Amino acid sequence: MANYEWIDSDLLTGLLIEQHGTSFGRLLAYDVNFATKKGDNYASEMYRVRVQYDAGAPVKKSIILKVMPSGELQQQVMQENSIYAREIVIYRQIMPKIYELLRSIGDLSIISPLCLSTTNAPKQMLVFEDVSEQGYRMVDRRFGLDLEHARLVAVKLAKLHACSRIVYEKEPALFDLTMEGCISDDPKKQTFLPYYRRCVGQVMRLVEQWNKDGRWDGILRKLEKLQDKIIPYGCDVYRRREDCFNVLNHNDIWVNNMMFHYGDATGVKDVLLLDYQLSFYGSPGVDLNFFLYGSLQPEVRTSHLKELVQLYHTTLRCTLEQLDYGGTIPTLPDIHVEIIRKGFHRVNAVFQQLPIAMMERSEGVDMDRLLGEGEQSEACRRELFDNPRYVGILPKLLQEFDLAGYLD
């Protein structure tokens, strides 16, 4: 169980001095709470710290401490994938360059919360502004995004992708830690991968329950074989072709990694994209498949998928054109080809992400339990997949994946 006794006045004073320099006077008071509910964030521990201090004038503000997780399997996954170092590079080096590009064309967009500082002691952590103070908030992950919210994400994702391409061409070394995906055949990066196979097993269990008349025999046979093929297929998703248009993928673009801002009775106005721990430089089809199949309300995906892809492409093209990008700008058909080429990632989204997004109760769920062996872990996974909301959408998606060849 995470605790925050280590968040003390010495730590906070050091962080505030780093932000304010000599203008910082002294810490007057502070209060610490968990920033997210248990189970709503799997790759880190999030703390909200409300501080009062003197910086030439009294200041009251809230900051977010994003701390590497305490679970044993969690830490192993983080270390294998260079999670901490990767996210620091993106927030502290790549993102500022993206903002320079956007500002150069008069675009004042903010893509993610501002990272105020980083430290390794007493724990590895990143310190962020608390955008809830600016009115940003999360939506209910269980239901997915409606069209209005999804449009904002498509636009922000396109701007991130477009600008990252230009930054990469100028300074490719900045992206060294993002060149390998989170599904890898590297034997040193295997801790998380059994979870993908276990998710296929859970889907098989559900299909067997439906298959009273043999109607699902064909798909069931394919799922049985998919258990052994899902990791190689996942590696193909993260296999980069240098002759294609590659970008910095957020690579974990789901509802709980988004915060939205709302106008006064005028609907949603803005979105910020959080958590770049798994970011990957490769085909934009990686992000697009995961977003379209892991974050949208089913009716939005069914009726408006092409509209969202077109909006993404229009924003990508216009941003690159305004920045005088000298390379070949992908056409709308090119983007559709990338979505199809990396289409197996929609299977990953539906099998691995959607059960977590849709679950009713998150209190008893953590990554160590989800990844673990034994009856307690198996019971946790069964509860995830038995969710009636998930079971209700799965048959149609399985039929779609079968017709598209993604289960073969």
Q: Where are the domains of the chain?
A: 73-115+137-404
Average pLDDT in the 211-223 region?
Answer: 95
pLDDT one-digit tens code per residue, 342-398: 999 999 999 999 999 999 876 656 667 777 777 888 888 899 999 999 999 999 999
Average pLDDT in the 48-67 region?
Answer: 94
CA distance readout (Å), 325 to 111, 156, 320? 20, 18, 5
Residue 380: what pLDDT? 86
Q: What does the angle CA 76 – CA 82 – CA 87 come to, to the nearest 5 degrees?
A: 125
Q: 3-class DSSP state for residue 229?
A: helix
Residue 98: what pLDDT? 98
Of residues 254 and 370, the one with the higher pLDDT is 254
CA distance readout (Å), 380 to 1, 144, 348, 353, 370? 17, 22, 19, 15, 7
Q: Which of 70-74, 101-105, 144-148, 242-246 has the least mean pLDDT?
A: 70-74
Q: Which of 192-206, 235-249, 308-322 has the least mean pLDDT?
A: 192-206
Q: What does the angle CA 210 – CA 216 – CA 218 come to, to the nearest 5 degrees?
A: 155
Residue 191: what pLDDT? 67
- Identify the H or E element spanning 337: helix 332-341
Q: Please state the pTM of the whole predicted model.
A: 0.93
Of residues 163 and 364, the one with the higher pLDDT is 163
Question: Is residue 38 scored above 70 in pLDDT?
Answer: no
Of residues 19 and 282, the one with the higher pLDDT is 282
Which residue from 266, 71, 282, 307 is spatially nearest to 182, judged by alpha carbons?
Answer: 282
Residue 282 corresponds to which amino acid? G
Find where tokens 């690159």 sit.
320
Can you tell me the distance from the alpha carbon of 290 to that of 41, in angstroms, rounded to the nearest whole number?
18
Mean model confidence pLDDT for the chain: 91
Confidence of residue 1 (pLDDT cuts 50, 70, 90): very low
Residue 258 corresponds to which amino acid? M
Confidence of residue 240 (pLDDT cuts 50, 70, 90): very high
Q: Which CATH number fits domain 73-115+137-404: 3.40.630, 1.20.120, 3.90.1200, 3.40.91?
A: 3.90.1200
Count Cβ atoms within 10 A of the Cβ of residue 17 and give its class: 0-12 exposed, 13-18 middle, 19 or more buried: middle
Question: Is residue 223 scored above 90 in pLDDT?
Answer: yes
Confidence of residue 138 (pLDDT cuts 50, 70, 90): very high
Average pLDDT in the 106-120 region?
Answer: 94
Angle of helix 194-210 relative to helix 388-404, nearest 10 degrees, comes to 100
Contact in structure between 335 and 284 (CB atoms under 8 Å): yes
Which residue from 221, 200, 201 is spatially nearest to 211, judged by alpha carbons?
Answer: 221
Read off φ and ψ for residue 104, nearest 5 degrees.
-65, -20
Question: Is residue 42 scored above 70 in pLDDT?
Answer: no
